[in-house]
A = this chain, B = another copy of it.
Amino acid sequence: MQANSFDVIRIPTNGPGDVSGLMALIDAGALDPSSIVAVLGKTEGNGGVNDFTREYAVAALCNALSSHLRLTPREVEARIAFVMSGGTEGVLSPHITVFTRSRTPERVGANPGQKRLSIGIAHTRDFLPEEIGRDAQIEETTKAVEAAMRDASIEAVSDVHFVQIKCPLLTSERVQHAAVRGETVITASGYASMGYSRGASAIGVAKALGEIGAEVAESQGLKDWALYSSVASCSAGIELMHNVVILIGNSRFPSSPFKIGHAVMRDAIDLPAVMQALQSVGLSAIDMQSQNRLVNILAEAEASPDGPIRGLRHTMLEDSDINATRHARAAVGGLIGGVSGTGAVYVSGGAEHQGPAGGGPVAVIARV
């Protein structure tokens, strides 16, 4: 059995349509386009329903990779797992993180006792509008996470440190499509549907990883906040109707120079959790030298859904000018940016059932 070798490359972008950084690496021979398995990006839209920077970024990447891969743009999109998270509020800096996987001639067990970063990918089938936020989405996500774990050659759920999901949302048109067929959707609000879709997806992850029982169902979505996954990160977008799963963990099989670890922020100001996540891969918030080994921090941010943070009122949920997800990304991005010394970190918004209410997972990828 041959081992996989993984690479993780963070590339700043000048706009949602900017592919120049990736193309330069390919042109320079530093990155083989056929080895790309996933691209995780932060784009500079509003992160809401009408954030078209996500689909624009994916379209630009698919067009650019099309000739290199001798595939149509649509085939590129089917082959690589693209997850763009909209919203670079505050100090957050637009960028993409490219994950590659290639076969190596090394034998299994090249680094005995040393688990290294591994990635697995999977998709669900397309959902009908009325399935979004409901049991169908939960169940299909569970299956896809299990498939992604196998794809990553990760044997124990404790070795899974970040499961990124891209999931669909409802638009007026999709609601109408369901209505025409006599079906009712979970909510008529496009913005609210993003939360239901993220929540169902996260519950699906938690079931796959045994974090919650198999009996948990859609009725508990966005209600019972005690149910959550410690590693799920879900981002909803207008540009797809299925769930994409990118699962990242450590495995004893691959020969990568990377490790991943994680911690769980219990609220949006949980500095110790961010420091603990850094320490889990041997980094320190204070020692700036260690930051050279930092590849990226992946985190989920959300406004505490039941009001206060440590007993003090926040105003994110009452703001009719700026959506709560934008507030939360800006705040958590400021904290993580301060700790890591860079704004090019992946902070995604809307953490329903992704970590405890008001908190969320924070994972760190570091060079060994």
Binding site for B on A (CB under 8 A): 12, 14-17, 44-53, 55-56, 59-60, 63, 88-95, 171-173, 175-176, 179, 188-192, 238, 268-272, 274, 285-286, 305-307, 309-310, 312-323, 326-328, 330-335, 337-339, 341-344
Contact = CB atoms under 8 A, between A and B. Distances in A.
A14 B313 contact: yes
Contacts of A343: 269, 309-310, 312, 314
A50 B56 contact: no
A53 B54 CA distance: 11
B17 A52 contact: yes
Most B-side CB within 10 Å, residue of A52, A60, A285: A52
Contact of A307 (B53, B172, B238, B286): B172
20 contacts: A12-B312, A14-B173, A44-B318, A46-B321, A49-B320, A89-B330, A90-B90, A90-B316, A175-B306, A176-B306, A190-B317, A269-B343, A270-B338, A271-B338, A310-B341, A312-B343, A312-B344, A333-B334, A335-B335, A335-B338
Total copies of the chain: 4
Given A16-B52, A338-B338, 20 more contacts: A15-B52, A15-B238, A17-B55, A17-B59, A44-B315, A44-B318, A47-B320, A50-B315, A88-B315, A89-B331, A91-B268, A91-B314, A172-B313, A190-B318, A191-B320, A268-B337, A269-B342, A271-B338, A335-B338, A338-B339
B310 A342 contact: yes
Contacts of A331: 89-91, 330-331, 333-334, 337
B269 A334 contact: yes
Nearest to A59: B17
Contacts of A306: 172, 175-176, 179
A89 to B, nearest CB: 6
A45 to B, nearest CB: 7
A92 B322 CA distance: 14
Contact of A88 (B14, B307, B314, B321): B314
